[in-house]
Amino acid sequence: MALISVGIDHEHASLDLLERATIVEHEWNKVLRSLMSQRNIHEAVFVSTCLRTEVVAVIDRFHGAIEEITRTLSDVTGLAPDKFADHLTVHFDRGVANHLFGVAAGLHSVVLGEFEVLGQLRRALELAVEEQTAGTELSDLFQRAIASGRRVRHETQIARGTTSFAQASVSMATNEHGVNLNDAIVVVIGAGQLASGIARNLLNSPSRLRRLTICNRTLARAESLRAELRDDRVHVAPLHDVAACITEARLVVAAIEIATPIVTRRDLERCDQNVLFVDLGLPRAIASNVQGLDHVRRVDIGDLRERIEQALGDRHDAVDAARDIVVEDVEKYLTDQRARGASVIVSELREYFDDVVAGEWIRREHDFDDLTVAQRETVASLVRSVVAKIAHRPTIALKEAAGTDQGTRLSESTRTLFDL
């Protein structure tokens, strides 16, 4: 069996395609069940964020698995395979670890080093474990990648300054678009991790907001976030009240997963004062056709990506340091994986020899009827000693070569020779 990852991401696909390929989180379990019904897939983790839709799996046949994953993505997104097949990013075996560790480090994020991706990977793994689609191999891979991502942020400067969508969106609204937040009413649509970060950044900004309203489909989650924020300026409202809430707002930030825009063109037309809409959702949560609306400005992830790329040009040293850590951690992960593989095959080889001895002893037991108990034990001890000496050299060779290409070849040869 082998590892594979197949995905669509912002580095290789347009935002329009990513929007159409995004699967809301409460439907991930359906995707996992569909993947596990495929012939060549033995373990699977699925993650779909605003900038990445990806499957990581333990598979049998490479090409068969590619076809099955592509077919599954087509079924769950409603996209014909020819609409996205040329934009798929595929990694195999060692490349999967390189890729996933880099994603966890924030090296493939719009905002270099952003921390939201760690939570996304963790939730994807937790759901796969809950659905029993992630076994030992994928659990270890994701846990090690997440740990490496934390190490990168702790040991390098990649995470200095603006390091999240939350910080970047607030910074863009206030610094680049000149939104004056003093005595402003602000609306945040959503109450998840990203929305939480945005709310915290807004409340902690030097400007003094008059009110921050959190609109969310689940009021209990919005109330929970208000309790966490501990700020009297925070109010909550149900999602169906968002049209009324935005008419008073100076800034509206959407950080929500929703199939169709929750703020329509008609809602935007009701705004009679200057308001900036920052749409961080994919699929988009705010109608994009704002032409002719004098009071309305709208920016989305595409605008955010361009500005961040310009602003973070001085992080080359930090990126190099982060990549060095990723390389080191990937090598250690792969070495540990191979060592575990050697340990397993050594155990299987010894068990094989023990079974041969036990089987032959039972088959020839009557040949020793004339021996005393002590003599029988002497013969048994001699046989075990001979077998141990025969097994010693292969065992040492497998252990010494663990973590190398030679070790992989020896393991494969041993399995073939002894039918393990």
- Helix then strand count (H, E) for the chain reads 16, 10
In the block, which residue shows the tokens 């970047």?
168
Annotated active-site residue 245? The verdict is no
Element housing 153 (H / E): helix 136-155
Burial of residue 220 (CB within 10 Å: 0-12, 13-18, 19+) is: exposed
Amino acid type, 407: G
Sign of torsion, CA 8 66 69 55? negative
The tokens describing 164, both together, are: 């999240």
> Using CA atoms, how far apart are residues 252 and 308, in angstroms rounded to an integer?
20
332 CB contacts (<8 Å, ≥6 apart)? none
| Residue 417: partners with Cβ closer than 8 Å, 6 or more residues away | none
Question: How far, in Å, are 11, 208, 326 from residue 88 at the CA level?
Answer: 10, 45, 23
The residue whose two tokens read 């014909």 is: 80
What is the 8-class DSSP label of residue 313?
A: T
Torsion angle, alpha carbons of 120, 121, 122, 127, to 10: 90
- DSSP, collapsed to helix, strand or coil, labels residue 27 as helix
Cβ count near 183 (within 10 Å): 11
On whether the CB atoms of residues 106 and 152 are closer than 8 A, the answer is yes
Residues shown for the chain: 420
State the Cα–Cα distance between residues 95 and 82, nearest whole angstrom.
25
Task: With CA atoms as reference, report the closest residue to 193 among 213, 165, 153.
Answer: 165
Q: How far apart are CA 346 and CA 414, in angstroms?
A: 9
Give the residue numbers marked as catalytic. Answer: 50
